[in-house]
Amino acid sequence: MNEQARSLRDMLSRPGPVVSLGVWDAFSAIVAAQEGFKLLTLFGSMASWSMIGKPDSGNITQTEMLDAARRIIRSVSVPVIVDCDDGFGDPMNVRRTVQLVEQLGAAGMYIEDLARPLRCSALGGGRLVPSDVMVQKIRAAVEARSDPNFFIMARTDDYEGLDEVVLRAKKYVAAGVDMILAIGLTSKEAMAKVGKEAGVPISTIQAAGTRMPLLPRDTLAAMGFKVIFHVPTMFSAAAHAMRQAARDLKADLDAGTAQPRVMPGPNPVEMEKMVGLDEDDRLQVRYASGSCKR
């Protein structure tokens, strides 16, 4: 029994919207969980930026995503959803992807109907595969899971108009997915239309600086969106802080006589405690030579 998948199902069965925060490694997942987020998502964009330093256009491989997912899932007790791009290939590849992600203990995953090179419609410049091609991938995905609680979503992007988003949402749920992730809706009115007319379980993303509007949680919930995925919030903040820290340190070093300033943020001891130093110390004492009691 996949406890994380069952936990996600229980979460979604309750009234009100569910918010998921985007993470990219074990440390970001630990921070998000410690700050009270009950559902996390590993997005391909942040994995691609952090792991291989490449754009999110299909550069990252199945193996690399699974490696990142494994470390995240093992680091937290809250459910984790894994972004699996286009399933990393044809329906047979999708089957294998589902089996591997489920074996990791993920709560769920999603695949998208983008054509390669993958280009998120929140940014623009991409295209979709025919919906019948996506349906076959969905069939393969649903048939591949061993635990019916394992949550499978299909993502569709607004590249062919709102009516096509609605049509694909209905078609993909009929093919067997549990929820639709609708992306690239460029106005509040567009989001309201899709949320109202889809008539199926539906979710969306929030990502500052993209073509999509940022809206309050309750507004999105009233439109019909059950899950709201906040994508780069922590990553953007971390990237900004790292760049500023590097600039400040470089300026201090170039000055030659300036004492390097102390950057804001947890110190090494505090970070060690964030990732379990106290428990590690307890176990070190427990397993020290001569200290074990029968």
Please tell me the predicted confidence (pLDDT) of residue 263. 86
66-102 pLDDT tens trace:
999 999 999 999 999 999 999 999 999 999 999 999 9
230 pLDDT tier (thresholds 50, 70, 90): very high
CA distance 165 to 81: 22
- The proportion of the chain whose per-residue pLDDT surpasses 70, expressed as a percent, equals 98
Residue with the two structure tokens 């993909």: 172
Average pLDDT over residues 239-258: 93
Contact 98, 138 (CB under 8 A): no
Task: Provide the 8-state DSSP code for 86.
Answer: T
pLDDT at 265 over 90: yes
157 pLDDT tier (thresholds 50, 70, 90): very high
pLDDT at 257 over 80: no
Neighbours of 197 (CB within 10 A): 16
Please tell me the predicted confidence (pLDDT) of residue 258. 75
1 pLDDT tier (thresholds 50, 70, 90): confident
Contact 178, 153 (CB under 8 A): yes
274-293 pLDDT tens trace:
999 999 999 999 999 765 55
34 pLDDT tier (thresholds 50, 70, 90): very high
Please tell me the predicted confidence (pLDDT) of residue 69. 98
Residue 57 three-state SS: coil
Beta-bridge partner residues of 110: 83, 153
Which parts of 41-90 fold into alpha helices (H)? 44-47, 62-75
pLDDT at 223 over 70: yes
111 pLDDT tier (thresholds 50, 70, 90): very high
CA distance 105 to 114: 26
Q: Which long-range contacts (CB under 8 A, 24 or more apart) does 240-244 make?
A: 241/265
The overall longest dimension of the chain from CA atoms, in Å, is 71
CA distance 101 to 204: 22
Please tell me the predicted confidence (pLDDT) of residue 125. 87
Task: Provide the 8-state DSSP code for 275.
Answer: T
Q: Which domains does the chain have, with CATH numbers?
A: 3-231 (3.20.20.60), 264-294 (no CATH)
Q: Which amino acid belongs to residue 99?
A: Q
Mean pLDDT taken over the chain: 95
pLDDT at 141 over 90: yes
Average pLDDT over residues 236-261: 93
The reply to whether omega before 15 is within 30° of 0 (cis) is no
CA distance 111 to 179: 11
pLDDT at 294 over 60: no
